[in-house]
Structure 1
Amino acid sequence: MIRSLYTGASGIISGQRQIDTISNNIANVNTAGFKESRTNFQDLFYANLQQNKNLENPNRLSNLGIMIGHGVRPGSTTKNFTQGPLIGTDGPLDLAIQGNGYFGMNKDGQMHLTRHGNFQIDTNGVLTNSDGYPVMGNFVGNLSDFSNLSFSPEGILTGTNAQGEIQELGSITIFDVPNSGGLLAQGANLFVATENSGQPNIVGTNLKQGFLEGSNVNLADQFSQMIINQRALEASAKIIHTADEMMSHANNIRR
């Protein structure tokens, strides 16, 4: 019965981790470029309490003996990188990537990746995100000297100069990695590449100006998972309560 107490406790702890993940997903349902997370679970090691040898039936296919597991633990969290809905903003510097790929951000000399394309021009005429990190690309001149900035689907930036002439101002660079699931989330909608993700490579793009990619969190799915997890937590608590009552009855018998 002591084993059942630990097993029930493992269910409660794992359920708490699941709730933590779900609550973060729901909290970011309106965060542009956010990718929902999922908690993956693993069963714990098994105790071989009894090993039976059935010599009379050597062709038996089932396992022999008694093996009892010790509960569950969170094994990992994974990100769902499916594309979120494109939300129209009419912002001239709002960009959404249709399909695979990431914007590259230069944060303190290190490349960070993001799907959040809410950009602006800073006082130095540099294209940056809302936190002031420069967007990686090949741009010429001071962008604040131009009006009517426009991005083509291929990422080519054009603008109107002081003489009213349309001028090409360079292009934004789009990156992708071999395995998005291996990216490490840094907060602020940023990811960094790891050994598991592979190194970023420059790829072609299909940009949509005046749009942002919304969160890919499905609220109905998250609420369903929350209800299922709540029932599992209640069941785990019931296991502990039942095991405690059984131990109490056993102690009373001894008296």
Structure 2
Amino acid sequence: MNNSMISAKVSMTAIQQRLDVIADNIANVNTAGYKSKQASFEDALTRVQQQDDKYKQDGRSTPMGYNLGFGTRLVNLTRDMSQGSMKETGNPTDLAIEGNAMFAVQANGQKLWTRQGAFHFVPDMRPKVNPNDPDRMVLVNDAGHFALNRQGELITAPMNSTVAFDDKGNLLIRQGGGNAVITGQLQMVDIERPEGLVQLADNLFGLDAGVTENDVFGANAATRVPQASIRTGFLEQSNVDMTQEMALLMQGQRIYQLAARALTSSDSMAGLANNMRA
């Protein structure tokens, strides 16, 4: 396999990875709280190919030798954690974060984090400790993951009570004609090192391998007061720039086509060379 075929094949693999990232961003343009991804690339291998001395002629203006590349490869994926636009819903349990922070949720028994704040209360189906305890409801997001409070516990409220949240994430409950009482607070944590997070399914983020919660959110993040605030009755929209993503998509498709033609041309030349030897 000659150098041009290697370069084209490696480049096509990297371009396909970039197109996959762009497609993921476009697919989530309407996903609340979604953070767009960006792919970074670098040369897979580059060396200087020396030319024969016969090319060293009088009047030559360019230096001897030329750079020989072997395509590009994906280095890493980064996330744009910038604030998305706000959409008013009027739902008192729809919460949008203003600032660099995330909600803590429990998914499949594991603690994870998200910017998606479309919460609602559902009946608490867990067995009661005391059969005489009143019926309660529990706070979950659209994917059915449980929201956590500052103590790492599920957020519950009495059935048929009126619930609301303030800008600090405090849960206010009113029963009957009584006054609203604060009964808990959402666990919202500031992000100090977003590169330590790994994006998962359902718009969730987990910790990268070898990274601790303190590394990403700082010490005592679950209990300290965050700098971010909450807007109730709003949802943060995706921060995907559709115009930019479509431009990158067309650019990537054209580059892929060019690399594919280079691969086809290299294969044709290799076939001609083999026939000449025969």
* Greater Cα offset, 240-249 or 186-195: 240-249
SS of the residue corresponding to residue 150 of structure 1 reads strand
Contact 2:155 2:184 in 1 (8 A): no
Q: Gapped runs of 5+ residues in structure 2?
A: 53-61, 125-136
By how many angstroms is 1:65 displaced? 4.7
Q: Does 1:236 align with 2:248?
A: no
With the length of structure 2 as denominator, give the TM-score of the two structures: 0.79
SS of the residue corresponding to residue 146 of structure 2 reads coil
Match of 2:91 in 1: 91
Match of 1:122 in 2: 122
- Matched letter for residue 241 of structure 1: T
By how many angstroms is 1:177 displaced? 2.9
- Matched letter for residue 69 of structure 1: G
Q: Does 1:165 align with 2:189?
A: no
SS of the residue corresponding to residue 76 of structure 1 reads strand
Contact 1:8 1:236 in 2 (8 A): yes
2: distance between equivalents of 1:44 and 1:107? 38
By how many angstroms is 1:249 displaced? 4.4
- Matched letter for residue 185 of structure 1: Q
- Matched letter for residue 100 of structure 1: N
Contact 1:121 1:144 in 2 (8 A): no
Percent identity of paired positions between Structure 1 and Structure 2: 30
Query: How many positions carry a matched residue from both structures?
Result: 247
- Matched letter for residue 191 of structure 2: V
Match of 2:245 in 1: 222
Match of 1:58 in 2: none
Q: Gapped runs of 5+ residues in structure 1?
A: 53-61
By how many angstroms is 1:19 displaced? 1.1
Contact 2:113 2:205 in 1 (8 A): yes
Shift in CA distance, 241/141, structure 1 to aligned 2, threshold 3 Å: closer
2: distance between equivalents of 1:204 and 1:43? 40
Contact 1:185 1:191 in 2 (8 A): yes
SS of the residue corresponding to residue 169 of structure 1 reads strand
Structure 1, residues 41-99: CA drift from partner, whole Å, max 9, x if none? 121123454399xxxxxxxxx99755422111112211111111111111111000001
Contact 1:103 1:173 in 2 (8 A): yes
Contact 2:148 2:154 in 1 (8 A): no
Supply the RMSD in Å over aligned alpha carbons.
2.8
1: distance between equivalents of 2:9 and 2:154? 60
1: distance between equivalents of 2:154 and 2:212? 35
Alignment of structure 1 residues 32-47 onto 2, 5 Å: 32-47=32-47
2: distance between equivalents of 1:111 and 1:91? 25
